[in-house]
């Protein structure tokens, strides 16, 4: 049985914070989950779901860092670690999804657990659905709104792009559908505006998404807002993108390198590159 006391969860969070492979975004999300379950009682099911998720992540990242320290790492070791990680995440996801409603805050926490599991399992549709549940419960914190907006954008790329004629290219096959889904992503980001430490990042991503949707004037307005903020508000915006993006017109092919470049620029804070997966389908 997982120890779901405040103290035990706090110790897990401290251990995860010390591991370099854990993204800042995940750490911030875990802290938000812990805040939400702090009012639910030590034995609350949502607490158990969070404790289970933290145990899975601790095992994965601890082992990963041990492997990195080795002189040689075999692909078999990495594959086994990834397989065990997926099994653990699927178990936590199933447990958290099956919990009965128990109040707004604990329910928001368990849906954040579901979203995080699905994020690492690369189930973007389920990430979006879980985050929409969180927002519907009244948790509209900028971190959640960013995650929702970003994943809606990833969903648009998955739903409305296909491989281009040349290797590594993606072509938008439904410009209208892509644009509408991009606007839904931007709407989520707009709902997160209001925190001086987050606004510049939200506006910058609005610009990226609007430009991808060929809404160039609106994109430039968003970029302008991201660059006209104070130094504190502008923290985290990549300087080379501060004046605008470099997306092509919506009917042109978008290379995978361009998508990865955009993700790479934000990776240190949010690690969205995990969603740009090129390997075998893992939705089973």
pLDDT, one tens digit per residue, over 207-256 is: 999 998 989 999 999 998 888 654 444 444 333 323 233 222 333 344 44
Q: Is 10 left (phi over 0), alpha (psi -120 to 50) or beta?
A: alpha
Q: What is the pLDDT of residues 245-278, one digit of tens each?
A: 322 233 334 444 444 444 443 333 333 333 332 3
Q: What does the mean pLDDT of the chain come to? A: 79
Q: What is the pLDDT of residues 126-170, one digit of tens each?
A: 999 999 999 999 998 899 999 999 999 999 999 998 877 777 677
Token digits of residue 146: 């960013």
Read off the DSSP letter of residue 171: E
Q: Is residue 280 very low, low, confident or very high in pLDDT (cuts 50, 70, 90)? A: very low
Q: What is the pLDDT of residues 188-208, one digit of tens each?
A: 999 999 887 788 889 999 999
Positive or negative, the CA dihedral 208, 214, 216, 218 is: negative
Residue 43, pLDDT score:
52
Q: What is the pLDDT of residues 24-63, one digit of tens each?
A: 888 889 999 999 988 665 458 899 999 999 999 999 999 9
252: which residues sit within 8 A by CB, 6+ positions away? Answer: 171
Residue 277, pLDDT score:
29
Residue 272, pLDDT score:
34
Residue 226, pLDDT score:
85
Q: What is the pLDDT of residues 64-116, one digit of tens each?
A: 888 877 777 778 888 899 999 999 999 999 999 999 888 889 999 999 999 99
Burial letters 45-61, b for 16+ CB under 10 A, else e: bbbbbbbbbbbbbbebb
Q: Is residue 177 very low, low, confident or very high in pLDDT (cuts 50, 70, 90)? A: very high
| % of the chain exceeding 90 in pLDDT | 48
């Amino acid at each position: 049985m997982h120890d779901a006391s405040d103290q035990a969860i706090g110790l897990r969070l401290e251990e995860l914070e010390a591991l370099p492979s854990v993204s800042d975004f995940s750490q911030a999300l875990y802290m938000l989950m812990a805040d939400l379950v702090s009012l639910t009682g030590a034995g609350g099911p949502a607490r158990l779901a969070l404790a289970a998720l933290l145990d899975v992540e601790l095992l994965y990242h601890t082992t990963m860092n041990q492997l990195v320290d080795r002189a040689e790492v075999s692909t078999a070791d990495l594959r086994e670690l990834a397989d065990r990680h997926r099994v653990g995440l699927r178990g936590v996801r199933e447990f958290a999804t099956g919990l009965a409603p128990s109040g707004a805050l604990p329910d928001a926490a368990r849906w954040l657990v579901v979203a995080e599991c699905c994020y690492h399992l690369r189930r973007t549709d389920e990430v979006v659905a879980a985050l929409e549940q969180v927002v519907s419960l009244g948790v509209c914190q900028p971190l959640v709104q960013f995650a929702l907006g970003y994943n809606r954008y990833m969903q648009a790329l998955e739903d409305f792009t296909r491989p281009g004629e040349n290797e590594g290219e993606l072509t938008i096959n439904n410009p209208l559908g892509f644009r509408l889904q991009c606007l839904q992503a931007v709407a989520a980001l707009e709902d997160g505006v209001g925190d001086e430490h987050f606004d510049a990042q939200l506006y910058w991503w609005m610009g990226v998404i609007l430009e991808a949707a060929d809404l160039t004037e609106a994109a430039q307005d968003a970029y302008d807002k991201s660059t006209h903020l104070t130094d504190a508000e502008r923290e985290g915006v990549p300087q080379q993108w501060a004046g605008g993006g470099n997306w092509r017109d919506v009917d042109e092919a978008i290379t995978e390198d361009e998508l990865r470049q955009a993700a790479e620029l934000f990776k240190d804070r949010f690690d969205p590159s995990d969603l740009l997966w090129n390997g075998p389908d893992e939705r089973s």
